[in-house]
Structure 1
Amino acid sequence: MSLAGPFQLTELFPSPHPAASGVRGCLWPCSCCSHHLWPCWEQRRGCCWELNFSNIWRTRCMSRAVASFLPCSLSSQVSYEASSKKLSNKRVFPSFLRTIPSDQLQVDAMVRLLKTFGWTWVAVVGSDNNYGLQGLQMLHEAAPQEGICFAYQGVIPASSAEVARMVLEVVASAANVVTVFANKRSALLFLWEAARQNVTGKVWLGTEDWSLATEIWKIPGVQGIGTVLGVTIHQARLSGMKAFEAAFAASEEAGAHRGDAGSCRNCKERCSQRFSRFRKLPDRQVPSPYDTQGAFSVYSAVYVMAHALHHLLGCQTGVCQKGTVYPWQLLKEVKRVNFSLNHRQIYFDTNGDPLVGYDLVLWTWAGQEWNYTVVGSFDRNPDRLSIHKDRLLWHTEDNQVPDSVCSKECGTGEQKVQQGMHQCCFHCVGCSPGTFLNRSDPYTCQKCQKDQWAPDRSEACFDRTVIFMLWDDPISVALLAANTLLLLLVAGTTGVFVRNRHTPVVKSAGGWMCFAMLGSLACASLSLYCFFGAPGHFVCLLRLSVYSTCLTGCLSCMAARSVQIVIIFKMAARAPGLYGAWRKYHGSGLLIGAITGLQGTMVLTSLTISPPAPYKNYEAFEELILLECSQGDTIPVFWMIFNSLLGVACFTISYAGKDLPNSYNEAKCITFSNLIYFVSFITYTTAASIYKGKYLAAIHIATLLCTLAGIFGGYFAPKAYVILFHSHLNTNQHFQMSIQSYTKRVNAAG
């Protein structure tokens, strides 16, 4: 049986050689030699190609050998069986073309199939020849790029004992998918042993060389090994094949062909004799799908050459040229062919490969009867895998896709931590807050950008919210109301003291110093408004510096008043000169000016060295950005220490005069005011070390406000109360009686 079937070359182009008319059964006209296309071919093989199924396997081995010397003369070679990737290299094989896809495309199809079903843990075996070894190499290069790992890989040996050991190792690998990139002979040995060892529950992925081979599905017990998926070249019907077989089967004589081919009589006899020998083989009475597939590849190759000659000789005009044709001219035409054959377009890419894809076939069984179903395809230009999942029948009980993975996929927001040498074997670790898992890199939790945040086990980052003390926030409204109330009370008290500035209560409060204290409290209270809203450069410069300086002025007035009372009542008799000097040199003013000036100098120095500025605090919260003023390195330390020491001094001095006349005794008021200051400071320090919430700034403002309210409530509120509601106590007589009572008590004690 000829692979091409009855072939009438004169249907493609009229031959100028009369002997070529009516040639049938031969794959090439005898007249070809007269056109000097193949001057050496007639000497070696004759005009008829010896192509039958018994020698197809030799073609793979011979193609590279032939292709290696044909480039010298640029003689065209169109192969129907050679699939090596190396033959696509046009620098080495410029005159080689083929009608079967490259093995690289087959590897791409198999890798795409593995990825589609999520099979990342597979065993791979190949035949010990160029076909299998190159296939293994290409799989080894392509599979890891798609996240596919090889649980086992090896070359099928020739020894039965070694094959048995290989099957055991494949089973031990725990891979449920086995890719067999091998020729028919090696695949037969391997699958025979797998069936003999009763290997079941596997998915077997085969190549085009054995997926539809009769020898393989006839292995005893092969239907029990699991699911067999195969990659085959796109199926195509070969017109005239059955008629050709019937014509030869009807005659026992090889010369029963009608007509005489003249000079090709010997050619027809040789072809007929080979077909007779082939027809008598018992296993080849009915061509297998693999045979039909190979026949179309041969058929296409012949038509490629015929169409190239047709155009080269100008036969499309009706009269073929008879001049000399050179090999390079034919090669040029072969590369440019583009025609339709049995509803398939035949043409080549720049590498000489056909733009044809593969079918994905599934073995099916009805008892002992074998068949196959086309369940998908892999097409070129562009590369696309299509699968009809409704046609798939798996060996699993519920017909679910079998698993073949080393480790189960991680959950949401969990990175893979590789175990061992295979990236497919891993354990899962959740991404920490502030990091996220990008699916393009499942092995690394990536850090979010500075302006973003992510919760635990996140796969995306979210924009942080910028926060500050908004004017309309409920807590801000409450603080603003309290500060405004304090400011109004200070202003009201100032008005009361101005109206009663000559009364004993105002004089005992310090006279002009009480107005300095009230002014400092009002200024500090006004500075608290700078803590609300988005901070700017000017606001950052003002708010703490003004507050700290004003608080220092207020505390220095309290300290000066305490010193003055102690000098008057405690030291006037013992050191009369001290009191005189205090009055003469305005000791109160000097003390207040010195303390306030020292604080002001430190503030200005700090602002010059490290001025505060608006900045975004990314460390305070995970999902928020706190917009605040940077305080530099020196401002908080020195200002805090200085005011704290001043508060301690006020407290100590005022406590020393605790037994003074009640009307002049400021110890209780100053002590209470300083206690409020200390408590507020300690409260904020403790809260800042424990609480990191968005309202920490509100707590800070509240502590500053409490300090001012404590000074006002402890020092000025009682005096204003006496002036407004107990005017009888705001008289000179009452204060004189208080002094006399203190003097008698001191003398009695002395």
Structure 2
Amino acid sequence: MRRIKDTEICLAYTAAVNDNSPYSFIYEQIEAQKIRVIIVFTPRLTAEALLESAIRLNVTDKIWIAGDTWSLNSRLPKQKGIKNVGTVLGVAQTVMTIPGFNDFTYAAINQTYCANDKHTFCNQVCNCSGLSAESLINSDPTYSFPVYAAIYAIAHALHHTLQCGADQCNGTIEVYPYMVLSELKKSNFTLLNQSIQFDKDGDPKFGSYDIVYWNQTGDAEDIGYYNFHPFVSFFINDSEIQWFSGEVPAARCSDQCKLGYAKKISGMQKCCFTCELCRGGTHVNITEDPYTCVPCKEAEWSAAGSTSCLLRAVEYVAFTDTESILIIIGACALVLLTVAMSVVFAINYNTPIVRSAGGPMCFLILGCLSLSSMSVFFYFGEPTSSFCTLRILPFVLFYTVCLACFAVRSFQIVFIFKIAAKIPKLHSWWMKYHGQWLVICVLFVVQAFLLVMSYSRTPPEPYRDVISYPDRIILTCDLHVRATTSSVVLLVTLCTICFVFSYMGKELPKNYNEAKSITFCLFLQILTWIIFATICILYSGKHILSLNALAILSSLYSFMFWYFLPKGYIIIFQPQKNTQKYFQSLIQNYTKTISQ
């Protein structure tokens, strides 16, 4: 059992047998476990009882490995029904003819009388009733030479212990067993061309085993050998074996697993297992541990049924990517447009169009649009802590100012045309204390405070997304959404208020209706971020960063295209509409319409 512990050999079932063993139960266990090979190390009589039980219980198609105690049995191979049990192979001591043994047996049997005739075999010279010289000579010769060599070895050991010479021994020496044992280990003599020696553990350094096969004629046929001195050599002529199944049988509990499958032991024996496919992200190394699906490292990946892991591809949107270049060009174009629009508005600062658009507030909005676009540049390249911070900070902070300006501007338009006449004191207070600038400053300070608090507690940091895709790592930023919730809530609230006020002023004079333009801009922005949020739910690759930058740019361009550019077009290409007289006529017409 210890010898096979670290080998590929498994014992599915073991049982100690004797004359009273329950053979029927033993064979039931063997059949239940589908065992095909049975190794029998027992005395001769027990082996005979075991094989006879197998014949009686109709145990068939097995491979029997016989020990040297019964492999040369002369009775069993001739037993009726023995061929049905299967194929019998065995090992036996190499049979050597001992010179003079036959003559000695004949002489001893004829001259000596054994008083106790109940003994089947005698360990002394005897003439037992019914025991002929031929029966002794033809009995199992397996141990003839080992017994012969053992007697000579002990004789040599006694010879040396008693310091015997050619004629006599030292009779004064008192012999003890340990003295004989010590000399026995030193044995070194030749017997029938065999060198008789023992190793330090007392095991013989001589001898060999024959591999025998019980052939169809009922004889034990030599088909090979196993020599263990002076070096180990083994040979077996398997062409001489006629297997019960007609072909070489396979004695295994389970077939080997395919590549990429790990063995899962069934029961107590490691040879009995089921095969389990290693899932993605794991692999099995059959040379090191065929029983475990080993997880890949974080930077590695594997498909289902892999025997090794591969390095993951690391992805991020580089500055040199086409999408990055196009978005950066778009951001630069926006900055140039804001500068150009600021110059146009500055030149025409005292005209009705500029004053109706917000006057000095227009320059604040245009400046904040340019500063908000700074965030776009930090969505590309390998993320760093500073890049992660600047992806959201400029946009959220300065976009808050833009929305605050448009919310105040929408409120003022609605207030002038619909509320001022009804609540003159509120209008007076608003104008006296510059309410629009007060609201913008308060919202800016509140948003700045919220951002500083959230970033000081949990600043954005680079993040390796190893979950979204098994074969790649997405380099992105962990913006800590919970920490920035308050800032986002303020931004959404401001956008909602702005949308409500701008929608209330949609029926004001056509060419004097800033509220309608603001409403349309906000509608485009809301639509943009809904589309972006939907894409985020469905997709999580590296291009989500480009889409985020594009959403920011789209929000900023909506104000530029639908609020400022139409006014710039009127200033440059329709100067007749940019007069005080034209605007007063629009207001008068609107007043007449309301009064009717």
| Paired position in structure 2 for 1:93 | none
Pairing partner for 2:74 from 208, 214, 220: 214
Structure 2 CA distance for partners of 1:745 and 1:702, relative to 1, 3 Å: closer
Q: Which structure 1 residue ranges, 5 or more long, are not aligned?
A: 1-103, 117-145, 257-269
Change (3 A) 1:588 1:219: same
How far apart, CA to CA, are the structure 2 residues paired with 1:739 and 1:386?
A: 118
Question: Residue in 2 aligned with 1:518?
Answer: 366
Q: How far did 1:326 drift?
A: 5.6
Residues 674, 289 of structure 1: alpha-carbon distance in 2 compared, 3 angstrom cutoff:
farther
Matched-pair contact (CA < 8 Å) for 1:312–1:329: no
- List aligned pairs for 1:13-92, cutoff 5 A: none
CA contact (8 A) 1:304 1:334 kept: yes
* Distance (whole Å) between structure 2 residues aligned to residue 712 and residue 324 of structure 1: 124
Q: Alignment identity in percent? A: 28
SS in 2 for 1:155: coil
Q: Indicate which of 334, 344, 347 corresponds to 2:198.
A: 347
Write out per-residue CA displacement over residues 86-139 of structure 1, whole angstroms, 9 at most, x where no aligned residue.
xxxxxxxxxxxxxxxxxx6xx736x789x45xxxxxxxxxxxxxxxxxxxxxxx
**How much does 1:206 deviate?**
2.3
| 8 Å CA contact 2:15, 2:26 repeated in 1 | no
Q: Which of 443, 454, 458 in structure 2 is aligned with 1:610?
A: 458
User: 1:243 maps to which residue?
Assistant: 99
Q: Decide whether the 8 Å contact of 1:613 with 1:630 is kept in 2.
A: yes
Q: Aligned partners of 2:230 and 2:485: how far apart in 1?
A: 72
Residue 178 of structure 1 is matched in structure 2 by 38
Instruction: For residue 648 of structure 1, report the CA deviation from its aligned partner.
Output: 1.1
1:157–1:252 distance in 2 versus 1, CA, 3 Å: closer
2:583 pairs with 1:738: yes
Q: Which moved more, 1:438-447 or 1:650-659?
A: 438-447
CA distance in 1: counterparts of 2:565 and 2:99, whole angstroms: 122
What CA distance in whole angstroms lies between the structure 1 residues aligned with 2:162 and 2:342? 116
TM-score computed with the length of structure 1 as normaliser: 0.66
AA aligned opposite 2:19? P
The equivalent position to 2:569 in structure 1, one of 718, 721, 740, is 721
How far apart are the structure 2 equivalents of 1:521 and 1:566? Answer: 24
- When structure 1 is superposed on structure 2, of 536-545 and 296-305 the one drifting more is 296-305
AA at the equivalent of 2:77 = W
Tell whether the 8 Å contact from 2:153 to 2:187 is kept in structure 1 after alignment.
no
CA contact (8 A) 2:211 2:236 kept: no
1:2-26: per-residue Cα shift (whole Å, max 9, x none)?
xxxxxxxxxxxxxxxxxxxxxxxxx
Q: In the TM superposition, what is the alpha-carbon distance from 1:357 to its structure 2 partner? A: 9.4
Q: SS at 2:317's partner residue?
A: coil
Which of 395, 407, 419 matches 1:559? 407
| Counterparts of residues 346-745 of structure 1 (less than 5 Å) | 346-349=197-200, 351-354=201-204, 359=209, 361-365=211-215, 367-374=217-224, 391=239, 393=241, 395=243, 397=245, 399-405=247-253, 408=255, 410-414=257-261, 429-437=276-284, 445=293, 447-632=295-480, 634-724=482-572, 726-729=573-576, 731-732=578-579, 735-745=580-590
Displacement of 1:595 after TM fit?
1.2
**Structure 2 vs 1, CA of residues 201 and 707 (structure 1 numbering), >3 Å: closer, same or farther?**
same
Q: Render the CA deviation track for 1:317-376: whole Å, top value 9, x for unaligned.
A: xx9988747644554444455778756673324x43446797572515254444131276
Distance 2:23 2:104 in 1: 42
8 Å CA contact 1:677–1:710 kept in 2: the answer is: yes
Q: Secondary structure at the match of 2:250?
A: coil
The answer as to whether partners of 1:307 and 1:337 remain within 8 angstroms in 2 is yes
| Count of aligned residue pairs for this structure pair | 582
How far off is 1:605 after superposition?
0.9
Q: Answer yes or no: is the 8 Å Cα contact 1:213–1:290 preserved in 2.
A: no
The yes-or-no answer on 1:189 pairing with 2:34 is no
How far apart are the structure 1 equivalents of 2:270 and 2:30? 19
The residue aligned with 1:149 is: 12
Aligned partner of 2:114 in structure 1 is none
Tell me if structure 1 keeps the 8 A contact 2:509–2:590: no
Q: Shift of the alpha carbon at 1:485?
A: 3.9
CA gap 1:453/1:584 in 2 versus in 1, 3 angstroms: same
CA contact (8 A) 2:63 2:86 kept: yes
Distance 1:343 1:354 in 2: 11
Asked if the contact 1:187–1:216 (Cα under 8 Å) also holds between the matched residues in 2, the reply is: no
Query: 1 CA distance for matches of 2:273 and 2:77?
Result: 38
| Contact 1:413/1:437 (8 A) holds in 2 | yes
Q: Residue deviations 1:582-623, cap 9 Å, x none?
A: 344333322221111111111011112222222333333334
- Aligned 8 A contact 1:362 1:392 in 2: no
Contact in 1 for aligned 2:197/2:204 (Cα 8 Å) = yes
Query: What CA distance in whole angstroms lies between the structure 1 residues aligned with 2:181 and 2:270?
Result: 47
CA spacing shift, 1:709–1:158, aligned 2, 3 Å = same
- Show CA shifts across 1:639-695 (max 9, x none): 221111111111111122223333332223211221122112222222223334443
Indicate yes or no: 2:118 matched with 1:225. no
Structure 1: distance between partners of 2:368 and 2:282: 49
Q: Are 1:302 and 2:152 an aligned pair?
A: yes
Give the CA RMSD over aligned residues: 4.4
Decide whether aligned partners of structure 1 residues 282 and 388 sit closer, same or farther in structure 2, where only a CA change above 3 A counts: closer
Does the Cα contact within 8 Å between 1:413 and 1:430 map onto a contact in 2? yes
C-alpha distance in structure 1 between counterparts of 2:271 and 2:516, whole Å: 77
**Contact 1:176/1:202, CA 8 A, preserved across alignment:** yes
Cα separation, partners in 2 of 1:156 and 1:253, compared to 1, 3 Å: closer
State the secondary structure of the residue aligned to 2:89.
Answer: strand
For residue 182 of structure 1, what is the amino acid of its counterpart? Answer: T
Taking a change above 3 Å as real, the CA distance of residues 700 and 368 of structure 1, as seen in their structure-2 partners, is: same
| Separation (CA, whole Å) in 1 of partners of 2:493 and 2:147 | 101
* CA–CA distance in structure 2, aligned partners of residues 477 and 305 of structure 1: 101
Q: 1:507 to 1:742 in 2, by over 3 A?
A: closer
Task: Specify the alignment match of 1:98 in structure 2.
Answer: none
Native 8 Å contact 2:162 2:175 kept in 1: no
* Pair 656,381 (structure 1): closer, same or farther in 2 beyond 3 Å: farther
- CA, structure 1 residues 649+186, in 2 after alignment: closer, same or farther (shift >3 Å)? same
Query: Relative to 1, partners in 2 of residues 1:255 and 1:605: Cα closer, same or farther, differing over 3 Å?
Result: same
Q: Letter of the aligned partner of 2:404 in structure 1?
A: S
User: What amino acid sits opposite 2:53 in the alignment?
Assistant: E
**Bigger relative contact order, structure 1 or 2, given CA contacts below 8 A and separation 6+?**
1
Q: Deviations over 1:132-162 (max 9, x none)?
A: xxxxxxxxxxxxxx5x422x74624348xx5
Distance 1:181 1:395 in 2: 22
Question: Which region of structure 1 is more displaced relative to structure 2, 331-340 or 395-404?
Answer: 331-340
Q: Distance in 1 between matches of 2:478 and 2:132?
A: 99
| Secondary structure at 2:512 match in 1 | coil
**Residue ranges of structure 2 left out of the alignment (5+ in a row):** 112-121
CA change 1:650–1:388 in 2 (3 A) is farther
> CA shift at 1:183, angstroms?
1.3
Letter in 2 for 1:731: N
Please identify, of 485-494 and 302-311, the stretch whose mean Cα deviation from structure 2 is larger. 302-311
